[in-house]
Amino acid sequence: MNSTTVRIGGVFGMVCALAMIPAYVVGTPDAPRTPQAARDYYRGGSAFITANGTLPLLHILFGLAFLGALVAMLRHASGPSAAAYTALAGGVFFFALTAAGLAAEVAYPATVLRFGNMPITEFDQPLLTLATWLYHYCQIGAAAMIFATSVAIWRTSVLPKVTAALGVLGILPLVHYSFPLPAALSSLVWIFMIGLIMLLAAPTAREPDPETDRSSGQSTAE
């Protein structure tokens, strides 16, 4: 496994996490509890669309690149293991449903901006609710990705073994329904930290030892 590829994947993970921060600064779709609060949630127009629609495109793009490098690293270290494939499945599930949730959340203000101030307020509440539940489900994928990666790291030491302790950040995503913002931030912190460790402590390929290889060849021949 090329250590440069792992390091680049780590940078992608860090950028992936940072690109999502403006969306949480704007707000979370579970916060509005009244029709008026739902309408007020979309105040900001184009700024809201940028924070919750445009910038998160980078979150998904760099997140998938990070996931590819992460799973390739795990698979190189552990082979076609259940942990590596679970990390892949969980990551794909997480980013796919995150993208769907973002699309649902930004659909209403994007429609107003595109077609003018039309009387479509009856759609704001269902779309916010849909986005909320998509985010609930996506965090299950995040938890699977986090736990599986920790298991693979613990078994293979492909990254410093202490990195496996970051698996505790997978607990909050499991209770996203009760603690939406802390749970979502927990997943982002994990992606950023794993990306940082991949950047700083990327595994290097073992250089072949001629003496060892020669001895191994002789033993096989005997």
Assess if residue 155 is contained within a domain.
yes
Residue 219 lies in a domain: no
Contact 109, 42 (CB under 8 A): yes
- Taking a C-beta distance cutoff of 8 angstroms, is the pair 55, 19 a contact? yes
> Alpha helix (H) ranges present in the chain?
3-19, 21-26, 35-41, 46-49, 55-78, 82-115, 124-156, 180-200, 210-221
Tell me whether residue 146 is in a domain.
Answer: yes
The torsion angle over the Cα atoms of residues 30, 23, 137 and 159, rounded to 10 degrees, is -140
Q: Distance between CA 4 and CA 202 in Å, rounded?
A: 8
Task: Identify the band that residue 209 occupies on the pLDDT scale cut at 50, 70 and 90.
Answer: very low
Chain segment 155-180, per-residue pLDDT in tens: 999 999 999 999 999 999 999 999 99
pLDDT, residue 43, reads 79
pTM for the full predicted model: 0.86
Residue 218 lies in a domain: no
Q: CA quadruple 135, 140, 145, 151: dihedral positive or negative?
A: positive
CA distances from 106 to 47, 88, 151, 182 (A): 11, 27, 36, 21
Question: If you average pLDDT over residues 85-103, what whole number do you get?
Answer: 96
Q: 45 or 207: whose pLDDT is higher?
A: 45
- In a domain, residue 221? The reply is no
The answer to whether residue 161 is domain-embedded is yes
pLDDT at position 118:
61
pLDDT at 120 over 70: no
Residue 131's pLDDT band, with cuts at 50, 70 and 90, is very high
- 96 residue type, one letter: A
The answer to whether the CB of 53 falls within 8 A of the CB of 3 is no
Domains contained in the chain, number: 1
Torsion of CA 74, 79, 83, 89, to 10 degrees: 80
Structural domain boundaries, residue 129: 3-201
The alpha carbon torsion through 206, 211, 215, 218 (nearest 10 deg) reads 110
Q: To which residue do tokens 């403006």 refer?
A: 22
For residue 205, is pLDDT > 60? Answer: no
pLDDT tens-digit series, residues 2-45: 788 999 999 999 999 999 999 999 888 888 888 888 878 887 77
Question: What's the pLDDT at 186?
Answer: 97
pLDDT of residue 222 exceeding 50, the answer is: no
Chain-wide mean pLDDT for the chain?
A: 87
What is the number of other CB atoms lying within 10 angstroms of the CB of residue 211? 7
Q: Name the percent of the chain lying above pLDDT 70.
A: 88
* Residue 45, in any domain of the structure: yes
- In this structure, is residue 216 part of a structural domain? no
| Cα dihedral 185→189→192→198 (10° resolution) | -150
Residue 46 has pLDDT above 90, yes or no: no
pLDDT per residue as tens digits for the range 63-80: 999 999 999 999 999 888
3-class secondary structure, 80: coil
